[in-house]
Amino acid sequence: MLRYLVTVWLLLIVPLLAWAQSPGRDVRLIVPYAPGGTVDTLARLLADALGPELGGNKIVVENRSGAGTFIGMQVVASAPPDGQTLGLASNTTLATSPILPGANPPLDTDRYLMPVANLIRVPIVLVGSPQAPYASLVELIAYARVHPGKLNIGQSGTGSLTQMLAIRLMHEADIRMEQIQYRGGTPALLDILAGNSQLYFSLLTESIAYIREGKLRPLGLASPSPNPALPAVPLLKDTLPGFVGDVGYGVVIAAGHSAEMVELWSRRLNQAMDRPDFRHRLEALHMIPVNGSAEAYRAEILADRETWRRVIQATGMRAGE
């Protein structure tokens, strides 16, 4: 029996060791967003941190944006189960795409993707123009009720967190605004700066510089607790009870990978995330490290799903509305 167990262990571990040490086998890290944003920055920090651990190999970041992140997610899902292709995923994609009415996602994320490790959460802040006739969420709601449909709010695609937050805000505040779709946070913020749009639920990582320069006005944080980067900015839940909606990002891999391969990558990612210098770099960029096991990541996705299921039921929201 002992000889049998040793043989089985060798059959499992030797291929992993050979894969980990073989030269020239670079790993693809798929980013389902355009270059330059928060997730792209996270990917490149990860690539640098993991490179020395790969025995001469390296991680190659590939940006595959479009279709609400599903182009990139399909690349990950269709990759062979050899540990060579990882993907950075938004919790919104994984949590809400299966439950949002009318979304019809091109990929069943529960069936074709496996969580490997959760990495970060990013605070969301509702921003507007400093020239707007409202300086707080309470004033915004009052203004929107007097001028129904006059304001617009950006969002980044069907089923995106920005779309869902915009619909939730209108429902819970009992206001009506026009939605404008953008390809991402940067063009949405630039349109506010140019005076073409009024509001946007922005990743703090992308708007903090504009806020500090006085070019954008923060109206409230969709976080469960105050943020030290913006200590004077109130929480949205203080005005709209329960209104919380920050976003998480983690690493996924194609279904069909062995448990050993998932564990190998989960361990590597967590080792990188636990390095004090790496965590400091993330925190300096206003990313909150929340790394953990594959099981913890799956539990976080399911918890986010239940939160948004309640919101979807309460608001009656559908994709594209």
* pLDDT tens digits for range 27-61: 999 999 888 889 999 999 999 999 877 877 899 99
Strand order across the 178-181 sheet = 178-181, 152-155, 199-203, 124-128, 217-221
pLDDT at 8: 41
3 state DSSP class of 146: helix
Q: State yes or no: pLDDT of 95 exceeds 90.
A: yes
Residues 199, 295: one domain? no
Structure tokens at 255: 């279904």
321 found inside a domain: no
Distance CA 115, CA 95 (A): 12
Q: Which pTM does this prediction carry?
A: 0.86
Residue where one domain finishes, among candidates 221, 238, 255: 238
| Pair (210, 271) in one structural domain | no
- pLDDT for the residue 47: 94
Tell me which of 41-45, 55-59, 71-75, 267-271 is least confident.
Answer: 55-59
Element (H, E) at 304: helix 294-315
**Worst-scoring range by mean pLDDT, 21-25, 59-63, 225-229?**
21-25
CATH number reported for the structural domain that contains residue 92 in this entry: 3.40.190.150
- Provide the residue range defining the domain that includes 311: 22-121+246-315
Give the residue-averaged pLDDT of 254-263: 97
Q: How far is CA 95 from CA 37, 90, 184, 220, in A?
A: 21, 9, 19, 24
**279 in the same domain as 234:** no
CATH of the domain at 145: 3.40.190.10
HSE value, Cβ hemisphere, 13 Å, CA-based, for 10: 6
**Could you tell me if 170 and 230 lie in one domain?**
yes
Please check whether residues 115 and 146 belong to one and the same domain.
no
